[in-house]
Amino acid sequence: MGHLYQFLLIPTRLTLKASTVLYRLGVCSVACLAAVFYSSWVLCLVLRKGPRAVFCKKRRDGPPSCLTDTSYGEHRYLILRNSGLRLHYVIAGQEGAQLMLFLHGFPQNWFAWRHQLKEFRQTFKVVAVDLRGYGFSEAPAGSEHYQRDRLLEDIQGIIEALGTGEKHAFTKCILVGHDWGATIAWEFAASYPNMVEKLIILNGVQFHVFSEYLAQHPRQMLQSTYMFLFQLPKLPEFLWSCDDFNFVKNTMLSRNGGIQNPAHSLTGEEMEAYLYGLSERGGLTPPMNYYRSKASWVPAKHTDILVPTLLIWGEKDAYLEKGLLPLAQQYVRKSIRVHCVPEASHWVSEDQPEKVNQLMWDFLLERE
């Protein structure tokens, strides 16, 4: 009987193996096409500007002043208890107040939350962290260090270390995330609901939601070509560093994908706040390793969100389609508020900080 059972399983196992092979071939094919596209772009830059301008690296002797500005908060370091990893963060507000933890996305760092640090420090203990591999935080070598469980463990360690109240008792935090920070925040809230009081998400969805949507929507696949490119070794780092990080600048400054609000367009110094860490030797590899570790996010360990959630979405997002919203919402089992900001880009917290801050206050104070 056992031999018959094993025999009957053979077609299923072969089908699964074939599906895996086809999937990997598909990803590899799209990655190669993306490499051709980005390489062609670099070639155009060479023809227009010359090889010296495109391939010579700009020397940066130190961080821009805004990146170490103490008016946003005090710069500190935390050594995580479990991993021993050293993370940089900026903290402001009252020491005994409730923790509001901000998680940034690609290709940013703590500086992405400068408007929110100043806004919420009167009421909360606000903390904007440089995720592992970013900014002034440590960057372990190897993509295995950027898998889901490692990242969730980081957030758990941060909250345990900093989320203490007046009597040194642990209190739940307000967790805020954007882009990759949003993906981490979704998963963390689902996995550790006892550590999160409220969840605030800005232009980001659960990874399993994104993966399912990507497979069925070719337009989203086109908008995500850089993610496929990042699956390749070394070449993406070379291409994205050309012309003094032309692609990074284009991502945040271009008319289509960048910040839309002229009043909050990034200054040269503010753009340098993001480029400084990336320009360090090997600085692009750790952020790209988040994408190279995508397999560790599927399937999701937990999907249900058991805490009140606010979802803010800049409708002029050139990288994530609005069609992701209803799929993300369906996993929230508590109350959820969804607010679309028509005039805002993917970088909504920097694009429309006043609007974002007001929506956050309304949610936190539970008023319409």
Please name the residue ranges forming H helices in the chain: 2-49, 51-55, 114-120, 148-162, 180-191, 207-216, 218-223, 225-229, 235-253, 268-279, 285-292, 324-329, 348-351, 353-365
141 vs 81: CA distance, rounded Å? 19
Beta carbons of 90 and 110 less than 8 angstroms apart: yes
Beta carbons of 205 and 185 less than 8 angstroms apart: no
Active-site option among 130, 179, 243, 351: 179
196 vs 308: CA distance, rounded Å? 9
Checking DSSP bridges between strand 309-314 and strand 336-341, what pairing results, if any? parallel
Beta carbons of 316 and 343 less than 8 angstroms apart: yes
Place of tokens 């560790």: 296
Active-site option among 104, 145, 178, 346: 346
75: nearest Cα among 123, 109, 122: 109
Place of tokens 């040194």: 168
- The answer to whether 145 is a known catalytic residue is no
29 vs 228: CA distance, rounded Å? 9
Amino acid at 24: R
40 vs 129: CA distance, rounded Å? 36
Beta carbons of 137 and 296 less than 8 angstroms apart: no
Active-site option among 72, 89, 134, 291: 291
341: nearest Cα among 330, 328, 351: 351
Please, how many CA atoms are within 13 Å of residue 130, restricted to the half-sphere of its CB?
28
Three-class SS of 329-368: HCCECCCEEEEEECCCCCCHHHHCHHHHHHHHHHHHHCCC
- The answer to whether 75 is a known catalytic residue is no
Beta carbons of 33 and 222 less than 8 angstroms apart: no
- The answer to whether 339 is a known catalytic residue is no
Beta-carbon contacts of residue 175 (< 8 Å; ≥ 6 apart)? 101, 103, 155, 185, 188, 189, 196, 198, 199, 200
Catalytic residue numbers, as ranges: 179, 291, 346
